[in-house]
Amino acid sequence: MNIAYPYSFDATGHTAQTDVLTHIRDMIEQILFTSPGERVNRPTFGSGTAQLVFAPNSDVLAAAQQQAIQAGLQQWLSDVIRVQSVDVTAIDATLTITVVYTVLQSQQQQTEQFVYGGAQA
């Protein structure tokens, strides 16, 4: 069973479910936008990406965050996906993250884009 994120109920009053690809995307989003220390029993869970919106833009910071994101995805989702690439772009108060990965079960390549900050938050 793949629980929908954010948690909600379906029309029958049961926990909403989603397909496998959407569930994987939801798990990636949780890792991207959860700060380490935010989860009670998982102090290393997350990548702290949301904090970048408030940091000054620089190539060095973007490169470091790309590495942190890739490491976080590999740590928490290595049994589900293989990360091909991560691209982080910060323009003003908007952060755009593009993740290219392969779903291990189906060998299907996916590209997902996540936007944080600005008018999208």
64-118: pLDDT as tens digits: 788 889 999 999 999 999 999 999 887 776 778 999 999 999 999 999 999 887 6
- Number of separate domains in the chain: 1
Paired strand residues for 101: 83, 110
Judge whether 41 lies within some domain: yes
As a whole number of angstroms, the distance between CA 65 and CA 73 comes to: 12
Full domain range(s) for residue 26:
20-120
Judge whether 80 lies within some domain: yes
pLDDT the model gives residue 47: 85
What single-letter DSSP state applies at residue 42?
B
Which tokens hold the place of 43?
């102090």
Judge whether 11 lies within some domain: no
Kindly report the CATH number assigned to the domain that includes residue 34. Answer: 3.10.450.40
Q: Name the amino acid, one letter, at 65.
A: Q
Judge whether 2 lies within some domain: no
Crossing angle for the helix pair 59-77 and 20-33, to the nearest 10 degrees:
130
pTM for this entry? 0.80
